[in-house]
Amino acid sequence: MSHQERESITSLVANMLVSIPYLIYIINRYQSETLSASGELQFWASAILILIPVRIVLHILIYILFSIITTIITKQNEPSSLSDERDKLISLKSTRNSFYAFSVGLLLGIITLAMGHSVSVFFVVILIGGIVSEVFEHTSQIYYYRKGF
């Protein structure tokens, strides 16, 4: 397994370890509170704004642990961060797949609003769409590296 594949798997696991518990926490917190229409928008806005720095910090910590564990197991330094055209092409294609997945999630969120569902359903669909788009990105990277593309 190449270093890029291990890094993609680590990113995928980090995404799941951070996003899914946070989503469950936010949904439980939302259900326990009674909010007005404007309070509902404020709740979801603050939930998303809190998610951003939490994810950044936890991803950094997980990448540091990944580097330490990789160095200990392989007994060699991490490969240089130089990337060739193949790595750039794989990154572009996996990012494209991620954008497609997020676009579908956004479209589904808008459809829920058009069908008369509450704003909270829209935000839950958007958050799930974001998680799924990251899963698409990392699984695409693993697929393209395995395919030899």
Is-contact 4 87, C-beta < 8 A? yes
Q: pTM of the entire structure? A: 0.82
Side chain identity at residue 8, one-letter code: S
* pLDDT value of position 90: 92
User: Could you report the average pLDDT of every consecutive run of 10 residues in the chain (149 residues)?
Assistant: 82 88 90 81 90 90 85 72 83 95 96 93 93 94 87
C-alpha 92/C-alpha 46 separation (Å) is 31
* pLDDT value of position 78: 59
C-alpha 55/C-alpha 39 separation (Å) is 24
Is-contact 127 148, C-beta < 8 A? no
Residue 80, phi then psi, degrees to nearest 5 = -60, 155
